[in-house]
């Protein structure tokens, strides 16, 4: 018989919040009168772009890496990432005084590669279209005696990401907003799972919705079918932080019965949201980090008029992509 999956609970999120508190930023929950007027409802924005390393990923990375026994894993940690998990793991490893190796796609944004190296990590590149990043990472971990830190399908990573949900719920209540929904950019589903656990405890009537790029809408399809669906090979998107081929096993076990319907956005809609965030919110947001905002701005989700929240999950954007988004908006 297969043993049941060990899934984090609200107590694990609270434990993670205590553990990461000395190093993580309690990011603000912002509100824009212009955005509210445009959409006809209150929209609260959880600005994880202001988190350490520029994305929510630091939360889960530190909650996980700070627990690693260096005597058991003298080679430190190994991770796979297109950039945000890479930076979170690299910085968490630096703070914990252990080495880190990050397997990154050869086409990862240069700014994400540079900042991963800046935190002291070694970067190993791979071809995302022909090579298996998990196999490469597993070989490195075995060779060096290192612990593999999954980007989303990890108990402590999910609990760490859930601390953003704990903060969001507390801040929304303080702002007098009884949220109907929270929109979260999704790749493997770790952030959505953590936020869903937090909201189920704090605001049980609130629904959490995944937002993904077209061509990588495995979560939206999986939620409909009730099983983990795969994306078709060869798809491409400018939302580089959301290009996972299938929901995680742990994350989907949490999300299957907790998430509302998934929302899908195009590259153009995501870039329009990047430009909106820059011009109107005065925030730098990467395409993947702006996906949830894109879903609202595009009308992909029909708002009822009740307050909603959006997680702006990351701000590590290549300057050329930002310039393209602003040029498209000005055209």
Catalytic residues: 57, 313
Please state whether beta strands 100-105 and 122-126 pair in parallel, antiparallel, or not at all (unpaired): parallel
Beta pairing partners, 312: 47
Label residue 257 exposed, middle or buried (CB < 10 Å: 0-12, 13-18, 19+): exposed
Distance, first Cα to last Cα, the chain? 60
Pick the closest to residue 46 from 319, 292, 326 (CA basis): 292
Q: Are 189 and 42 in contact (CB under 8 A)?
A: no
How far apart (Å, rounded) are the C-alpha atoms in residues 219 and 313? Answer: 17
Label residue 37 exposed, middle or buried (CB < 10 Å: 0-12, 13-18, 19+): exposed
90 φ, ψ to 5°?
Answer: -60, -45
Q: What is the Cα gyration radius of the chain?
A: 18
Beta pairing partners, 147: 77
Count the Cβ atoms, other than its own, within 10 Å of residue 11. Answer: 10
Pick the closest to residue 88 from 32, 142, 139, 160 (CA basis): 160
Q: Are 143 and 99 in contact (CB under 8 A)?
A: no
3 state SS of 252? helix
Q: Are 149 and 78 in contact (CB under 8 A)?
A: yes
3 state SS of 199? helix
Q: Are 51 and 311 in contact (CB under 8 A)?
A: no
């Amino acid at each position: 018989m297969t043993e049941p999956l060990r899934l984090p609970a609200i107590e694990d999120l609270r434990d993670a919040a205590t553990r990461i508190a000395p190093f993580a930023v309690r990011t603000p929950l912002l509100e824009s009168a212009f955005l509210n007027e445009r959409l006809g409802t209150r929209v609260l924005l959880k600005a994880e772009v202001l988190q350490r390393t520029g994305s929510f990923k630091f939360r889960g990375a530190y909650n996980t890496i700070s627990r690693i026994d260096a005597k058991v894993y003298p080679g430190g940690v190994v991770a796979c990432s297109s950039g945000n998990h890479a930076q979170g793991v690299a910085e968490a490893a630096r703070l914990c005084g252990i080495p880190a190796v990050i397997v990154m796609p050869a086409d990862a944004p240069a700014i994400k590669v540079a900042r991963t190296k800046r935190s002291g990590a070694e970067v190993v590149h791979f071809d995302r279209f022909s090579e298996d990043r998990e196999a490469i990472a597993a070989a490195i971990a075995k060779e060096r005696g290192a612990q593999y830190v999954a980007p989303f399908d990890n108990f402590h990573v999910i609990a760490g990401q859930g601390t953003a949900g704990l903060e969001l719920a507390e801040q929304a209540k303080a702002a007098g907003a009884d949220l109907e929904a929270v929109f979260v950019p999704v790749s493997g589903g770790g952030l959505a799972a953590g936020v869903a656990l937090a909201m189920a405890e704090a605001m049980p009537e609130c629904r959490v919705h995944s937002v993904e790029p077209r061509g990588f809408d495995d979560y939206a399809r999986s939620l409909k079918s009730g099983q983990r669906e795969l994306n078709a090979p060869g798809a491409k998107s400018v939302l580089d932080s959301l290009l996972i081929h299938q929901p995680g096993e742990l994350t989907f076990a949490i999300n299957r019965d907790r998430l509302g319907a998934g929302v899908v956005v195009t590259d153009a809609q995501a870039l329009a949201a990047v430009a909106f965030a820059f011009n109107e919110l005065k925030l730098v947001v990467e395409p993947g980090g702006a996906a949830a905002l894109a879903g609202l701005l595009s009308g992909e989700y029909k708002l009822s008029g009740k307050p909603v929240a959006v997680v702006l999950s990351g701000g590590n954007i290549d300057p050329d992509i930002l310039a393209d988004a602003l040029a498209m908006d000005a055209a």
